[in-house]
Amino acid sequence: MNKTLLLSAAILLFNLPASAQDPKESEDWSRKPVIITPGCRSSAPSDAIILFKNGRDLDNWTSRSGPAKWKTGFKKMKVNGTGDILTKEKFGSCQLHVEFRSPAKIVSEGQGRGNSGVYIQTLYEVQVLDSYNNETYYNGQAGSLYKQSAPLVNASKKPGKWQVYDIVFHAPVFNPDGTVDKPATATVFHNGVLIQDHFELKGPTVYAGYPKYQAHGDMPLLLQDHGNPVQYRNVWIRKL
């Protein structure tokens, strides 16, 4: 840089308001972040709510008609044809961690292969499906926001392998008259890969037709019994 340019830069710098030169002006001391202990491998962060605690009981879960009756053991729970299970506690915006495994033995294809679902607030489904070399409609494969958004990529593992969803969900906000102020959004990582990037949900999941919002508050998390013996383990949630 020549002397003329250096002189011009110096003049400009010294003519700036004093506040623009003080780094303290941009420091934020308004809210000290809470200290937590992060998880390690299969353990959850210290501020998480463990929804499937010890792999043996379903104390945090119920069904639509009474106690949850999925089969448990060896630190996992298994769909067994007794119906969907729901958390006893209700949740709004959250960070959710779910590990699942489709059956190792392939007995069907398309939507009949390892089908289940993670329903946030009982309404918004992240599809669980064996999508390893298994063709189906794209907004119904593993990692889709069912019938609304296909995953950005297919990150599925082979049948019988444990897989992971990490989900960041922001609940919808409604006006006093029931209209939508802010739609729900979902960001999903499948086996560590970003597959849904802050997608704005158009409403609750529906099998046929088009979704439409109706005002609601916090709701339980639901795991779907779709008739396939899908297994779950290490389920935890953090309120946002």
Q: Can you give the pTM of this predicted structure?
A: 0.89
Cα separation, 36 vs 44, in Å, equals 11
Domain ranges in the chain are 29-239
Other Cβ atoms within 10 Å of 21 Cβ, number? 10
pLDDT of the residue at 55: 73
Q: How many angstroms separate the CA atoms of 157 and 209, rounded?
A: 31
pLDDT at 19: 56
- For the segment(s) 29-239, the CATH number from 2.60.120.560, 3.30.9.10, 2.115.10.20, 3.30.70.660 is 2.60.120.560
**Cα atoms in the Cβ-side hemisphere of radius 13 Å centred on 240:** 11
Query: Rounded to whole angstroms, what are the CA distances from 99 to 22, 108, 134, 234?
Result: 48, 22, 20, 6
Q: Is the dihedral of CA 145, 148, 153, 157 positive or negative?
A: positive
Q: What is the pLDDT of residue 1?
A: 52
Model pLDDT, residue 11: 47
What whole-number distance in Å separates Cα of residue 222 and Cα of residue 117? Answer: 8
Q: What is the pLDDT along the chain (240 residues), one digit of tens a residue?
A: 565 555 455 445 455 555 568 999 899 999 999 999 998 877 899 999 999 977 778 999 999 999 999 999 999 999 999 999 999 999 999 999 999 999 999 999 999 999 999 999 999 999 999 999 999 999 999 999 999 999 999 999 999 999 999 999 999 999 999 999 999 999 999 999 999 999 999 999 999 999 999 999 999 999 999 999 999 999 999 999
